[in-house]
Chains A and B, each alone.
Chain A
Amino acid sequence: GQNIDQPTEMTATEGAIVQINCTYQTSGFNGLFWYQQHAGEAPTFLSYNVLDGLEEKGRFSSFLSRSKGYSYLLLKELQMKDSASYLCAVRDEENNNDMRFGAGTRLTVKP
């Protein structure tokens, strides 16, 4: 089975930096994805990690530690439009490499 845990809600200020954590327990880890989901819309892909370390993509970075079962998504220079849910999803070889999602972290960016 899998457990994927994220904080339920976070609040941050426009222009600031925020870190959204994700911890997971899985038998056959084979990659971790971060998705953004605005209310009422589809998830959109942000980042992918399969090896330990930091992946940077513009204002967004994602970090993975496989030994700790831990990832974070770092959002810099926050903008109001970054208010959304951020979904951590893990691919598991024991699920035929299908993705399973955490419950998501609802981020509110305030002026």
Chain B
Amino acid sequence: EPEVTQTPSHQVTQMGQEVILRCVPISNHLYFYWYRQILGQKVEFLVSFYNNEISEKSEIFDDQFSVERPDGSNFTLKIRSTKLEDSAMYFCASSDLWNNQPQHFGDGTRLSIL
């Protein structure tokens, strides 16, 4: 069964550094998402992406965050200048058509900011 893949599985970065999290969505999916889950807390929506542009973004997704689909397969999340509070699990998800199709999640990247 096709799956969403994320790399790396764990990223350790110094505060203030830039980090790029990578995702390969399921190949025929059209909608892409990033979520964040701080340890012990709920899954929080960051951003959705369709047709090469951001569809929706949450208040968490400030100017420090950006997303890109640099080629036909990758979908990346960049954090320009990381803060301690950015430490979390970051999940990428993708879905086919909107309405009744579930989002499929990758295994996540655990980001640790030192």
Give A residues with C-beta under 8 Å from B.
30-31, 33, 37, 41-45, 48, 50, 87, 89, 95-104
Contacts and interface: CB of A to CB of B under 8 A. Distances in A.
Nearest to B39: A40
Given A98-B56, A100-B45, A101-B45, A45 B102 contact: yes
Interface string B10-51: 000000000000000000000001010000011111001000
A96 B56 contact: yes
A89 B55 CA distance: 19
Contacts of B35: 101
Interface string B63-106: 00000000000000000000000000001000000111011111
A108 B104 CA distance: 24
Contact of A101 (B44, B48, B98, B107): B44
Interface residues of B, number: 21
B68 to A, nearest CB: 19
A100 B41 CA distance: 14
B43 A87 contact: yes
Contact of A45 (B33, B41, B43, B103): B103
B103 A99 contact: yes
B48 A98 contact: yes
A98 B105 contact: no
Nearest to B103: A99
